[in-house]
Amino acid sequence: MRGARFAWLWAVLAAGLCAPAGAGDAPSPPEEAPGPREIDPADAAAARRHMVAQVALHARLTAELTGRPELDAAVLDAMLRVPRHAFVRPELARYAYLDVALPAGNGLRESQPFLVALMTDLVAPPRDGDVLILGIGGGYHAAVASALVGRVFCLDLDAEAAAVAMARLAPLDHGKVETRIADPYYGWPEADRRFDAIIVRLAVDEVPAILLSQLKPGGRLVAPVGPSDAEQRLTLFTKDADGRITRRPVLPVRFMRLPGGRRI
């Protein structure tokens, strides 16, 4: 019966309407939750449209903090096309299109969709640009970025987690995502490599100078910055044509800490 087929979707939409709209990472559903491992494509497309509408609303409600009342239409379009349910733990697929963080397996999390959209919007990568992502998570942010730019490069210390994420990405990225197993704290292993945008998906006390040196002139880096889990602020760094760096705090957030390097 069609009503039964869509029962899970209506539950998701109803829950989404009650999702918090405040700044920062929203709470996630329980680690273990019943749910279908397969989602009908039409249902998933409808849920993605609702998710993107919630992300756009969240942007308007936090505009006083972020300065971004309207997010880039290209970013939202990419989120409409990328199946987030393919990047979270299968038993949590029914929750994939809520505006909440979700476990991705291997102890990792997929960030709240609003933060994926906002961070990508803030770095404003050019269509033919190169983006570096530190911390691959479940692969969803890399998938969204690969729908927007020429190449995406990911760094992660966890080889097992990276392998799982790349397997999820394989049907979608058409070879546009390259992943290395290395310490994200030190940036891309080839020291002379430069990127149009860098997205740091894990919190740091301060952004290492070596990462800022890997930005091209005019490039942007976004990262959660703060000395503790309770004191983090999403921060945008911009490099001008002369190599000078400016920074702008955006809004309070809470992310897992970036491993590797000095303890940061």
Catalytic residues: 111
Nearest to 110, CA basis, from 79, 147, 137, 83:
137
How far is Cα of residue 224 from the mean position of the Cα atoms in its chain?
12
Determine the Cα–Cα distance for residues 147 and 258; give it in Å rounded to an integer: 25
Q: What is the residue-wise DSSP string for 88-127? A: S-GGGGGGTTSSS-EEEETTEEEPPHHHHHHHHHHH---T
Burial classification of residue 41, based on how many CB atoms lie within 10 Å of its CB (0-12 exposed, 13-18 middle, 19 or more buried): exposed
- Report the DSSP beta bridge partners of residue 151: 130
